[in-house]
Amino acid sequence: MKKSNTRGLRLFILFLGMTASFMQASSQDLHFSQFFHSPLSTNPANTGFIPASDYRLGAHYREQWASIPVPYKTMSIFGDFQFMRDRFRSGWMGLGGMILQDVAGTGKLRSTKAYASVAYHQMLGSTGLLSAGFNLGYAGKQINQDKLTFDNQWNGRFFDSNVPSGEIFQNNSIGYLDLQAGLNYAYFPSDNVYLHAGFSMHHLNKPKESFFAVSPGYDNTIQPRSIFFADAVVKLNNQIILSPGIYYATQAKSAELTAGMHLNYNIANEGDQQLILGVYFRYNDAYIPMVGYQWRNFKFSFSYDATNTPLKYFNNSRGATEMFMQYDGLYSTMYGGGRQSMCPTFKTF
């Protein structure tokens, strides 16, 4: 390493201390425990911010409450890349897209969302980077009305589907446009440290969704969702890199706070193979241990949400399992065959 880690460790400790000031409970909307592995859904300004490569492709799968009769399943795929790196002075563009799908409940409520995102990244001197981005997408939802039961169908022993529910669905499927925007700032004072934080707003156009006819007194507007995140990379030595992170989201009267840390440990020459270990905590919900493996440009990780609320007595503490994989690529023939972005790259060798 070229520089001392003393300053980096002070910044690292300060960063961890910031996490103690955030408190709240659960959240709405689609989300992943491995928020740091879902960059485009966390903040569109992350599009094209790829310190270790020129483009990336990723996929997520999450199954929640598997021990309860009807689990919730969430899936996503995403990809983004850097471009126009020779058109701007100390800056570049990012372009990406993602598809998310969620299936929930006995009514098989299926949400499918597709977004395209764009961002601009501008270096500020030699130690800072400011990013701004937005995405625009289309969200569609479907429900199987025949699978639903209502309170007036309960006969004291079971739900009788032959009894009319009294509920009148105007549609079994709906769709709407959705808009997000965000800002990020990255600071890398040395070869061994960088800090990264951002803020984004989701559902800026306040779309409306309902399977029922509009009724007076009922608001079917999707409330805006705000997300703050911060993470860091601290290279302790040629074997270990620490990555703490915090994620805080609010929507309507709900909130979610997740914080923790994982590390990459070099188990082969030149960092070609790395073991990933970590643990996160979602306030008032679950402990989240994580394990992963990186082989060259491929990364795999698995996390498990261990419920620590009263729900644990019904789901045997089995909150959710989550799997993630990602491939990071380099342009081999474009731009003279080398990387031109100026954000730092951190490796365990």
Written as six digits, the tokens of 346 are: 């951190």
Q: Assess contact for 206 and 17: CB atoms under 8 A.
A: no
Residue 321: C-alpha distances to residues 61, 265, 324 (Å): 8, 23, 10
143 backbone dihedrals φ, ψ, rounded to 5°: -140, 145
Distance of CA 26 to the CA centre of its chain: 15
Q: What is the largest CA-CA distance in the chain?
A: 75
DSSP-derived pairing of the beta strands 240-251 and 254-266: antiparallel
Written as six digits, the tokens of 265 are: 């440990």
Domains and CATH numbers, the chain: 6-337 (2.40.160.40)
For 198, what's the count of Cα atoms within 13 Å in the CB-facing half-sphere? 30
Q: Please state, in angstroms and rounded to a whole number, the distance separating the CA atoms of residues 289 and 301.
A: 11
Q: Assess contact for 259 and 280: CB atoms under 8 A.
A: yes
Q: Please state, in angstroms and rounded to a whole number, the distance separating the CA atoms of residues 269 and 23.
A: 42
Which residue shows structure tokens 């740091």?
36
Residue 251's SS3 state is strand
Q: Please state, in angstroms and rounded to a whole number, the distance separating the CA atoms of residues 93 and 133.
A: 10
pLDDT of res. 311: 62
pLDDT of res. 93: 95
Sequence-ordered list of residues with C-beta below 8 angstroms from that of 187, at least 6 positions apart, any chain: 127, 128, 129, 194, 195, 196
Q: Assess contact for 150 and 107: CB atoms under 8 A.
A: no
Kindly tell me the burial class for residue 186, based on how many C-beta atoms sit within 10 Å of its own C-beta (0-12, 13-18, 19 or more).
buried
DSSP string, 85-154: TTTSTTEEEEEEEEEEEEEETTTTEEEEEEEEEEEEEEEETTTEEEEEEEEEEEEEEE--GGG---GGGB
For 248, what's the count of Cα atoms within 13 Å in the CB-facing half-sphere? 14
- pLDDT per residue, tens digit, the chain (349 aa), is 344 444 444 444 444 443 333 333 333 567 799 999 999 999 999 999 998 889 999 999 998 866 566 677 899 999 999 998 878 888 999 999 999 998 876 667 888 999 999 999 999 998 999 999 999 999 998 887 766 766 676 777 777 677 776 666 667 788 999 999 999 999 999 889 989 999 999 999 999 887 766 666 677 889 999 999 999 999 998 899 999 999 999 998 899 999 999 999 999 877 789 999 999 999 988 999 999 999 989 999 999 998 887 666 565 666 789 999 999 998 874 544 444 455 556 555 4
Q: Please state, in angstroms and rounded to a whole number, the distance separating the CA atoms of residues 274 and 330.
A: 19
Amino acid 294 reads Q
Written as six digits, the tokens of 289 are: 């241990």
pLDDT of res. 182: 98
User: Pseudo-torsion of CA 210, 214, 219, 220, nearest 10°?
Assistant: 20
Q: Please state, in angstroms and rounded to a whole number, the distance separating the CA atoms of residues 62 and 322.
A: 4
pLDDT of res. 1: 38
Q: Please state, in angstroms and rounded to a whole number, the distance separating the CA atoms of residues 210 and 255.
A: 23
Written as six digits, the tokens of 330 are: 């380099």
Q: Assess contact for 139 and 176: CB atoms under 8 A.
A: yes
Amino acid 281 reads F
Beta bridge partner(s), residue 47:
none
What sign for the dihedral angle of Cα 21, 26, 27, 31? positive
